[in-house]
Amino acid sequence: MDASKGSKKRKAITRDVEEEAGTFSGDELSKKNLNGALSDDANDLSSDEGDSEVELVDDFSSDEEEVEGEEGIDSDEIPSDGGDLVKKKSGTAVDEPARDNDDDESSEEEQINFRIEKDAYGNDRYLYDEINPDDNSELSEADEDANTIGNIPLSFYDEYPHIGYDINGKKIMRPAKGEALDALLDSIEIPKGFTGLTDPSTGKPLELSQDELELLRKVQMNEIPDEGYNPYEPTIEWFSSKQEVMPLSAAPEPKRRFVPSKHEAKRVMKIVKAIREGRILPYKAPEERDEEDPNVIKYDLWADEAEDADPHMHIPAPKLPPPGYEESYHPPPEYLPDNKERKTWEQTDPEDRESEFLPNDFGSLRRVPGYENFVKEKFERCLDLYLAPRVRRSKLNIDPESLLPKLPSPEELKPFPTACATIFRGHKGRVRTLAIDPSGLWLATGGDDGTVRVWELLTGRQLWSTTLNEEDPVNVVKWRPGKDAVVLAAAAGDDVFLAVPPIVDPEVEQASLEILDAGWGYAASRPAPTGADANKKNAPPQWIRPSSSLADSGVYAVIPLRYVVKSLSWHRRGDYFVTVCPGSSTPASVAIAIHTLSKHLTQFPFHRRLKGGGPPQTAHFHPSKPVLFVANQRSVRAYDLSRQLLVKIIQPGARWISSFDIHPTSSTAAGGDNLIVGSYDRRLLWHDLELSPRPYKTLRYHRKAIRSVKFHPGGRYPLFADASDDGSLQIFHGSVTGDMLSNASIVPLKVLKGHKITGELGVLEVDWHPREAWCVSAGADGTCRLWM
């Protein structure tokens, strides 16, 4: 209320001030009046804030100046400090009585502040008391900056920049103050009820009356806006201890008000009972029980252990390897690192070191220091245990040698042909075929020039040569097996020629002739074929005597087969040989012919074409059994000749079989049949007939077609060779063991190169020496070579 009044008064006062000031400055008022008015004003404004106080103070100070100059200036020095105001005021309040006292004193002083004494001359002498400035006396403070203008109104200096002079006569400049601005602001007439707002309905400035402002203020201050409302009315006690004559409710007092509760009694009784029975114990502070070590194990965890399958594939952590010799505190001296090793160890990064410590010899146990990385190593082990992924790895602790195939030692493999020993030159054009005679002395060759030549094997000297056919090449030459006679079978064009080269000693030559001639009688004794038979295409041909020129040169029989013979193979005993005419125009029934030397008889055992794989290519007799192997383009068939049965079909998987050979020891003892097949599609296939009809090993070491394959005859050396169009021969070691359990082991041994490739053809045929590990090859370049 007080505050509000103050603020209400404020404007009025601020406006009044000037008038008052004017009055002050104008009139001389009694000090008392002034003081009273001042104090009144001060009281009024005690709760006031803001610039108006400054004004007031200013006025007050100027007023004071009038009263006491020094003091007034003092107060002038602190003009607009609102904070000091209270002090100021209290100061003034305190000063008031003091001033009064002063006034009193000054009046007193005028009377008694001197003594009258007689001086030396007897004159009166006014002796003034020493001025004893009181502590609170302002007079004592002789301020240098004090204004010395004396008791004149300051307004005299209004037009000057200074307000007076100090004790030294210097101008005291007017202190800077907001007075001018304030005066201007105050001079502006503010209409009553000015709010600064615009009334939206009228567009005129909104003016509020004093009551309305008061109401707003109350709302703002959370006061009750109603003027007459008393929030602290005395309460009316409706229900009191006093018996009313007319009570509000006349209902009788309920029973529960005065009867003790049964339910509560029940509950209490329950508790009492529990206490009596000792079920409820009085509270006891939990005493410090002795720390029972929870880590002491009290029972057997594995009392009922059961071996059960690990549910989640646990891999136990691998154990650390045991320490080696180098970790010893006193290792053998050779484990100690030398300077170089030590240096490299120190220079490598700790992460890259092979071992985390250097071996060191401490000599005796007392010199061993602590291992500085112990904690770190254990920590790393811990990390490994829970951070490292574990993988089960089968560790290879096998001897590497055991992985290598069990191979015969190189010494065991020897001998095998390694170098070209002899070159046989003489043929014009390709040498198509060659054969070494069973004694191993001579080599027979046949070539495109239609000649058959016989050479001395070791020297390369040509012993015998005859031209069998002017136009057609000699396709096959083969010696009759057996050393009792020397018979050479050669196929050129459509005919097969049997010759006895005049190179041997007469006895053997005689024997050979006898063998060849023995058959003429049989042929004569046989009924001559009827004309119809002879006309028939597949009638067996008659052996005929050769032309005289041929007979002179040593050819003794000719078998006209009417089709080009490409393959010829003798039976082991030398009485039979089989020829094959692979030409596509050849009727199937006459493609394969078996000739009996002793009877001069030719038979065609097959009436129909072999199934699957085109015309027959080549045929061989089994070395020991009466079985004939016939190869067509894709398969090899074995026929039992005595029972006239197909025994076996071998499918090498080659597209076009060029040649095949049967292992010489096949079916002897316990061993099974082994077969090698060469094909034009660059494959060499080893068949173990006991194993499967498919090849046991497929070797593809040639870049061109394989023309010929051959086992070493006689089984003395487990060698075989193949000849290929890439101009090379390859020699293999293929040993066949006697027992059924172990498979044949094949070892590549040597690549023999020397033949030139002429017209896409390289080596056309290969043959082995019957006793030595030598082989001969017929090249398309017109030479034959002996490799040994």
Partner 1 sequence: MGKIKKKGNSGQAKNYITRTQAVRKLQITLPDFRRLCIFKGIYPREPRNKKKASKTSTPNTTFYYTKDIQYLLHEPLLAKFRDQKSLAKKIARSLGRGEVSDASRLEKNHAPKLTLDHVIKERYPTFIDALRDLDDALSLLFLFANLPSSSHVPPKTIALCQRVTHEFQHYLIATNSLRKSFLSIKGIYYQATIQGQDIMWLVPYRFVQRVNGDVDYRIMATFVEFYTTLLGFVNYRLYSSLGLRYPPKFDTRSDENGAELAAFTLEGRSVGNVPKAIEGNNTKSNALSNQVSSEVQSKVDKVIQDAGLDQTKDEKTVETTEESNDAIDKFEPAAPEADTLDQPDLSAADSGSLFAPFTVYISREAPKAPLEFILRAFGCTRVGWDAVSGDGAFTHDETDTRITHQIVDRPPLPEGALPAAPAAKDGDVPQVKPGTRVPGRTYVQPQWVWDSINEGRLLRPDLYAPGTTLPPHLSPWVKPSRVGYDPKASLAAQEEEGEAELAEEDSGSDEEMEDEKDDKDDKVDEKKNGDAKAAEASDDDDSEEEDGGMDVDLANSDEDEEEDDSESADEDFGGFEDDAASESEDDEEAARSRHQKELEAEAAGLPFSSINGGADEKAKKKSSQAKKIAAKKRKEEEELERQKMMMSRKKRKLLEKMMYSNKKQSDEAAKLRSKRRKLEKGEKGEKGEK
535-594 binders of partner 1 (CB under 8 A):
none
Among 27, 287, 305, 471, binds partner 1 (CB under 8 A): 305
Closest CB 374 distance from partner 1, rounded Å: 5
> Which residues contact residue 777 at a Cβ distance below 8 angstroms, ignoring those fewer than 6 apart?
434, 723, 729, 752, 755, 763, 765, 766, 767, 784, 785, 787
Stretch that binds partner 1, among 201-209, 224-232, 315-323, 639-647 (CB under 8 A): 315-323
Among 396, 524, 669, 741, binds partner 1 (CB under 8 A): 396
User: Cα dihedral sign for 74, 80, 85, 89?
Assistant: positive
Instruction: Please state, in angstroms and rounded to a whole number, the distance separating the CA atoms of residues 497 and 536.
Output: 23
Which residue, among 697, 778, 753, 765, has the nearest Cα to 417 in the 3D structure? Answer: 753
Stretch that binds partner 1, among 382-390, 549-557, 637-645, 774-782 (CB under 8 A): 382-390
Closest CB 306 distance from partner 1, rounded Å: 7
Instruction: Please state, in angstroms and rounded to a whole number, the distance separating the CA atoms of residues 415 and 788.
Output: 9
Nearer of residues 256 and 392 to partner 1, judged by Cβ = 392
Nearer of residues 260 and 333 to partner 1, judged by Cβ = 333
Instruction: Please state, in angstroms and rounded to a whole number, the distance separating the CA atoms of residues 728 and 706.
Output: 10
- Count, residues near partner 1 per rule CB under 8 A: 76
Nearer of residues 165 and 335 to partner 1, judged by Cβ = 335
Stretch that binds partner 1, among 17-25, 67-75, 353-361, 504-512 (CB under 8 A): 353-361
**Does position 407 bind partner 1 by CB under 8 A?**
yes
3-state secondary structure of 766: strand
**Does position 423 bind partner 1 by CB under 8 A?**
no
Nearer of residues 33 and 295 to partner 1, judged by Cβ = 295
Closest CB 315 distance from partner 1, rounded Å: 8
- Cα 361 from chain centroid (whole Å): 43
Among 12, 184, 251, 301, binds partner 1 (CB under 8 A): 301
> Which residues contact residue 645 at a Cβ distance below 8 angstroms, ignoring those fewer than 6 apart?
639
Nearer of residues 324 and 583 to partner 1, judged by Cβ = 324
Dihedral of the CA atoms 414, 417, 418, 420 (nearest 10)? 160
Cβ count near 393 (within 10 Å): 7
Nearer of residues 239 and 299 to partner 1, judged by Cβ = 299
Instruction: Please state, in angstroms and rounded to a whole number, the distance separating the CA atoms of residues 784 and 457.
Output: 10
- Cα 461 from chain centroid (whole Å): 73
Stretch that binds partner 1, among 4-12, 198-206, 372-380, 420-428 (CB under 8 A): 372-380
Near partner 1 in 686-705, by CB under 8 A: none
Near partner 1 in 730-769, by CB under 8 A: 747-748
Which residue, among 592, 587, 595, has the nearest Cα to 605 in the 3D structure? Answer: 592
> Which residues contact residue 345 at a Cβ distance below 8 angstroms, ignoring those fewer than 6 apart?
337, 353, 358
Instruction: Please state, in angstroms and rounded to a whole number, the distance separating the CA atoms of residues 19 and 436.
Output: 161
Closest CB 384 distance from partner 1, rounded Å: 9
**Does position 101 bind partner 1 by CB under 8 A?**
no
| Pair of tokens at residue 571 | 């039976």
Among 169, 196, 294, 350, binds partner 1 (CB under 8 A): 294
Q: Mark residues 437-476: x for contact with partner 1 by CB under 8 A, - for none.
A: ----------------------------------------
Among 110, 302, 351, 471, binds partner 1 (CB under 8 A): 302
Among 185, 388, 544, 670, binds partner 1 (CB under 8 A): 388
Closest CB 287 distance from partner 1, rounded Å: 13
Which letter does DSSP use for residue 758 in this model?
Answer: B
**Does position 285 bind partner 1 by CB under 8 A?**
no
Nearer of residues 207 and 377 to partner 1, judged by Cβ = 377
The arrangement of strands across the sheet holding 627-632 comes to 616-621, 627-632, 636-640, 645-650
Closest CB 737 distance from partner 1, rounded Å: 17
- DSSP collapsed to 3 states, 687-749: EECCCCCCCCEEECCCCCCEEEEEECHHHCCCEEEEEECCCEEEEEEEECCCCCCCCCEEEEE
Which letter does DSSP use for residue 567 in this model?
Answer: E
Nearer of residues 231 and 294 to partner 1, judged by Cβ = 294
> At residue 243, what are phi and psi to the nearest 5 degrees?
-80, 120
Near partner 1 in 323-352, by CB under 8 A: 323-325, 327-335, 338, 340
Stretch that binds partner 1, among 94-102, 364-372, 472-480, 594-602 (CB under 8 A): 364-372
**Does position 414 bind partner 1 by CB under 8 A?**
no
Among 404, 532, 669, 741, binds partner 1 (CB under 8 A): 404
- Cα 555 from chain centroid (whole Å): 81
Closest CB 379 distance from partner 1, rounded Å: 5
Nearer of residues 364 and 584 to partner 1, judged by Cβ = 364
Among 170, 192, 267, 381, binds partner 1 (CB under 8 A): 381
Nearer of residues 227 and 305 to partner 1, judged by Cβ = 305
Residues 540, 604 contacting (CB under 8 angstroms): yes
Closest CB 408 distance from partner 1, rounded Å: 11
Among 386, 471, 505, 644, binds partner 1 (CB under 8 A): 386
Closest CB 256 distance from partner 1, rounded Å: 41
Closest CB 728 distance from partner 1, rounded Å: 17
Show the beta-strand stretches assigned E in 561-653.
567-570, 576-580, 592-596, 601-603, 616-621, 627-632, 636-640, 645-650
Stretch that binds partner 1, among 124-132, 225-233, 401-409, 710-718 (CB under 8 A): 401-409
**Tokens 């009750």 -> residue:** 224
Among 211, 253, 307, 471, binds partner 1 (CB under 8 A): 307
Which residue, among 628, 633, 626, 590, has the nearest Cα to 611 in the 3D structure? Answer: 633
